[in-house]
Homo-oligomer: A and B are copies of this chain.
Amino acid sequence: MSTKVSTSEQVKQLLDAYDYFLFDCDGVLWLGDHILPKVAETLKSLKSHGKTVIFVTNNSTKSRKDYLKKFLKFGIEGINKTDIFGSSYATAIYINKILKLPLNEKIWILGEEGIKLELEELGYKTLGANDSKLNEDKEFNPDHEMLTELDPEVGCVVAGLCLNLNYLKLSITMQYLLTKNKSLPFIATNIDSTFPSKGKLLIGAGSIIETVSYASERKPDAICGKPNQSMMNSIKADYPELQANPKRGLMIGDRLNTDMKFGKLGGLDTLLVLTGIETEERVLSLTEEQPTYYMDKLGDIFELTRE
């Protein structure tokens, strides 16, 4: 049975029980461009108690540097690039460390600049992403040179959330997925079907990936975001104490099928906040896979401590 955290005593127990606080971002810290109440204060309070805060996001449109800017914009200080684990970073690490793609092979990106920046930081050349050549025609042009002439040096296809989506980008992605007898690795940043923005659900990376997956009759060879454990392994590599004792870590998120699953698979306890996708009704109706705790909003940690 999931415990609702709603008293100062319970918050005190949380602070005693955990040293590592892992946070999903969208739906937990902020909704799009709006920070949620008392988030900055809560993070500051945790740090003042000597806690390690780590940010784990499936949003691949931004690089870690972009995230740092976002934290500062919201007045959240003292966060370092190494505190942030995004699916774009996880994807770049996967391609480099696990796939071991040679640096002279290029990567086609269906997605945004975040993936491109993280891959470039590792020394890769990329194609696609936010290249303005892919958005210059008003109507779909079947003779576009990037569609008619595939680059033979492309050795990998990455797909993620793409807000500048168009038919040309989808079609080129499919060509690369079909080329070389369907042998190019097909890597998904994450497969969230939707994401919350301003009280609405918008189309998530997973739904966009479905299009090229269905058309090419291929499933992604790897999924780098939550709940996949490659990000968790990167985090534990950086924090040996968490590796040795995952029960000192608490994964805080707004999604059962990504955040809570990610924490649980990693051996951490989990805390669901109700500011994003899920509702209290849904949590209480779960017969299995319940989070360890749930609470109305993250900012309650600060508000309840002050009482």
Residue numbers of A with Cβ under 8 A of B are 32, 135, 138-140, 142-143, 147-148, 162-167, 170-171, 174-175, 178, 193-194, 197-198, 200-204, 206-208, 210-215, 217
Q: Contacts A193-B215, A217-B193; is A164 near B178 (CB within 8 Å)?
A: no
Contact A214 B202 (CB under 8 A): no
Q: Contacts A211-B210, A211-B211; is A203 near B164 (CB within 8 Å)?
A: no
Contact A142 B207 (CB under 8 A): no
Query: How many copies of the chain does the oligomer comprise?
Result: 2
Q: Contacts A164-B140, A208-B211, A210-B214; is A200 near B147 (CB within 8 Å)?
A: yes
Rounded to whole angstroms, the CA-CA distance of A164 and B135 in the bound complex is 11
What chain B residues lie within 8 Å of A200 (beta carbons)?
147-148, 171, 175
Instruction: Report, nearest first, the 8 A-B pairs whose CB atoms are least far apart.
Output: A207-B215, A140-B163, A210-B214, A210-B210, A207-B214, A207-B211, A165-B167, A170-B203
Rounded to whole angstroms, the CA-CA distance of A170 and B215 in the bound complex is 17
Contact A197 B165 (CB under 8 A): no
Most B CB contacts (10 A, CB to CB) among A194, A203, A217 go to A203
A207 to B, closest residue via Cβ: B215
What chain B residues lie within 8 Å of A208 (beta carbons)?
211
What chain B residues lie within 8 Å of A201 (beta carbons)?
174, 178, 215
What chain B residues lie within 8 Å of A142 (beta carbons)?
32, 197-198, 202
What chain B residues lie within 8 Å of A194 (beta carbons)?
174, 215
What chain B residues lie within 8 Å of A215 (beta carbons)?
193-194, 201, 203-204, 207
